[in-house]
């Protein structure tokens, strides 16, 4: 995210559950593209918990936070 904010990179790989992507994120992507056309977003949609690795994605939206090596941000309670 720091490289993105500083204009050094325009690519971000996001891993998230397929259901969340289809029902929530994808309908909002056009708005994101209008606000930030410089961001090249690629989605890795998963059915299960991902392998938390920078080989998989730059950012993850999951139900269970990684145990180490990642910064986590709580989004919301159901």
SS (HEC) of the chain: CHHHHCCCCCEEEEEEEHHHHHHHHHHHHHHHHHHCCCCEEEEEEECCCCCCCCCCCCEEECCCCCCCCCCCCCCCCC
pLDDT of 1 strictly over 70: no
What are the sequence ranges of the domains in the chain? 2-61
Q: For the chain, what is the mean pLDDT?
A: 85
- At 78, is the pLDDT very low, low, confident or very high (cuts 50, 70, 90)? low
The pTM of this model reads: 0.79
CATH number assigned to the domain covering 2-61: 3.40.190.10
Average pLDDT, integer, range 56-73: 83
Average pLDDT, integer, range 24-35: 92
């Amino acid at each position: 995210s720091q490289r993105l904010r500083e204009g050094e990179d325009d690519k971000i790989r996001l891993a998230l559950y397929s259901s969340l992507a289809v029902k929530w994120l994808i309908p909002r992507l056009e708005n994101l593209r209008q606000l930030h056309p410089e961001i090249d977003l690629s989605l890795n949609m998963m059915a299960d918990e991902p392998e938390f690795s920078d080989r998989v994605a730059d950012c993850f939206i999951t139900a269970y936070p990684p145990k180490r090596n990642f910064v986590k941000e709580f989004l919301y309670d159901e």
